[in-house]
């Protein structure tokens, strides 16, 4: 049975500020998607939030970029925005850049990751959702999952993984893409994907048969809007087991709270802290950035789950380390590398300050 799994997300209002989600927004989303399920438009759904981002997880028998599914997501965000406005939530409709829907949420503000496959005999899928960061935050964990044998034992000892994986990398500034077959081309790939603000892994396929393994959202809201409208808090879908990395190999990279961009005003670096659903409420200095993971077993398109994967005590030490790193980074205040470089900051007064000082600069 061919199934499409669509994860579409948007920030349509924070509560309070940019830290979390009002329960009424979740209710509206569940009501809208519940209606669509009854009408047979989707097979199943799950509504979650990561910080101030509303996450719509849907299965259906349509296709990727299906206008009917994208319209459903868009209409759900519009309904959420109405509630956010009524409740005077913060930044109501923040990620909806356009007034009217035109067939696909891409380029309209929401982020999306979608994957279509023949459901296997048993189909475990992991959905990662992050707040206060950007799509390039997935580069390091994806590399570890699908190209680093120190993370994924299966690359060495499981014949089904041993031929490696091919990554599609997008240049989100120039709107170009390139494929790397790993492990053979992993050094070339690393030369690019280490530059996380520009080169973003879009998808991963298995070399042995071209089967899709992972997909991310690469939507760069600020590049789309041409002005700061919120960070491009990303999502990704990963298939697990039987020729893909095991669930535990997919989660393992998040035991390292690596530094990502997007903390406070989208303008600071901070550690990506792995958390359970209940802890996905970035509050300290609007952070530190969070990642959570919902796992499902697909059952003919039905979503058995979610299981809250990063809640586990085995990530306690990573949370502790993230807090230590957060303290260390915070002590830099307005200095780099806590503050992002001038080109990447989403808030800046630099042009105004330089303009004001124009006449005061003297030749050295």
List, by residue number, the catalytic residues.
Answer: 11, 228, 231
Q: Where are the beta strands (DSSP E) in the chain?
A: 2-10, 44-50, 53-60, 111-118, 123-131, 165-171, 176-182, 199-206, 212-216, 235-239, 259-262, 268-271, 273-274, 290-299, 302-308
| Residue 339 binding ligand 13P, by CB under 6 A | no
Looking at residues 154 to 173 of the shown chain, list those that interact with ligand 13P (rule: CB under 6 A): 158
Q: Quick check: 233 binds ligand 13P (CB under 6 A)?
A: yes
Is 301 a binding residue for ligand 13P by CB under 6 A? The answer is: no
Q: What is the spatial distance between Cα 56 and Cα 33, in angstroms, rounded to a whole number?
A: 9
Residue 245 or 262: the one with the smaller Cβ distance to Mg ion is: 262
Figure out which of the listed residues 20, 136, 230, 288 binds ligand 13P, where binding follows CB under 6 A. Answer: 230
| Closest CB 52 distance from ligand 13P, rounded Å | 5
CA 288 to CA 259: how far, in whole Å?
10
Asked if 134 interacts with ligand 13P (CB under 6 A), we say no
308 binds ligand 13P (CB under 6 A): no
Of 94, 356, 351, give the one whose Cα is nearest residue 221: 94
- The sign one gets for the Cα dihedral 288, 138, 170, 236 is negative
CA quadruple 254, 259, 260, 262: dihedral sign: positive
Distance CA 221, CA 134 (A): 9
CA distance 69 to 75: 10
State in angstroms the smallest separation of the CB of 19 from ligand 13P. 8
220: tokens are 């760069």
- In whole angstroms, the minimum distance from the beta carbon of 160 to ligand 13P comes to 7
Residue 286: name its binding partner from ligand 13P, Mg ion, none (Cβ under 5 to 8 Å by kind). Answer: ligand 13P
Residue 241 to residue 250: CA distance in whole angstroms:
10
What's the number of CA atoms in the CB half-sphere (13 Å) around residue 247? 15
* Residue range at the interface with ligand 13P (CB under 6 A); choices 71-79, 258-266, 306-314, 327-335: 258-266
Could you say whether residue 132 binds ligand 13P (CB under 6 A)? yes
Residue 281 interacting with ligand 13P (CB under 6 A) = no
**Which does residue 242 touch among Mg ion, ligand 13P, none (CB within 5 to 8 A, set by kind)?**
ligand 13P
In the list 104, 222, 242, 279, the residue contacting ligand 13P (rule: CB under 6 A) is 242
Q: Which does 222 bind (CB under 5 to 8 A by kind): Mg ion, ligand 13P, none?
A: none
Helix 139-147 with 186-193: angle, nearest 10 deg: 170
> Which residue has the closest beta carbon to Mg ion?
18
Q: Nearer Cβ to ligand 13P, position 114 or 346? A: 346
| Residue 239 within binding range of ligand 13P, rule CB under 6 A | no
The answer to whether 20 contacts ligand 13P (rule: CB under 6 A) is: no
* DSSP E strand stretches across 227-277: 235-239, 259-262, 268-271, 273-274
Which residues of the shown chain bind ligand 13P in the complex (CB under 6 A)?
11, 18, 51-52, 94, 131-132, 158, 230-231, 233, 241-242, 246, 248, 264-266, 286
């Amino acid at each position: 049975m061919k199934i499409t799994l669509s994860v579409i997300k948007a920030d349509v209002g924070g509560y309070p500020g940019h830290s979390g989600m009002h329960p009424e927004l979740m209710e509206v989303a569940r009501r809208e998607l519940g209606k669509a399920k009854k009408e047979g438009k989707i097979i199943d759904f799950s509504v979650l939030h990561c910080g101030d981002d509303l996450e719509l997880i849907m299965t259906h028998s349509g296709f990727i970029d299906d206008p009917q599914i994208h319209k459903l997501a868009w209409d759900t965000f519009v309904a959420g925005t109405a509630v956010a406005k009524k409740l005077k939530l913060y930044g109501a409709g923040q990620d909806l850049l356009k007034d009217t829907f035109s067939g696909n949420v891409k380029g309209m503000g929401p982020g999306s990751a979608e994957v279509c496959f023949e459901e296997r005999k048993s189909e475990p899928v992991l959905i990662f959702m992050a707040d206060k960061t950007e799509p390039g935050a997935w580069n390091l964990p994806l590399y570890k999952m699908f190209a680093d044998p120190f993370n994924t034992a299966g690359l060495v000892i499981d014949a089904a993984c041993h031929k490696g994986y091919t990554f599609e990398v997008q240049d989100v500034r120039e709107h170009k893409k390139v494929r790397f077959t790993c492990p053979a081309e992993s050094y070339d790939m690393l030369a690019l994907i280490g530059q996380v603000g520009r080169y973003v892994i879009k998808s991963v396929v298995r070399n042995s048969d071209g089967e899709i393994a992972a997909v991310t959202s690469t939507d760069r809201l600020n590049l789309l809007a041409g002005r700061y409208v919120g960070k491009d808090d990303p999502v990704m879908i990963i298939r697990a087991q039987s020729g893909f990395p095991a669930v535990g190999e997919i989660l393992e990279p998040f035991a390292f709270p690596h530094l990502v961009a997007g903390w406070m005003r989208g303008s600071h670096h901070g550690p990506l802290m792995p958390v359970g659903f209940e802890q996905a409420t970035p509050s300290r200095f609007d952070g530190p950035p969070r990642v959570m993971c919902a796992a499902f077993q697909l059952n003919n398109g039905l979503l058995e789950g979610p299981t809250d994967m990063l809640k586990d005590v085995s990530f306690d030490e990573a949370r502790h380390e993230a807090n230590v790193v957060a303290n260390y980074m915070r002590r830099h205040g307005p200095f780099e590398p806590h503050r992002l470089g001038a080109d990447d900051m989403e808030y800046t007064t630099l042009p105004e300050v330089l303009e004001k000082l124009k006449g005061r600069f003297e030749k050295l």
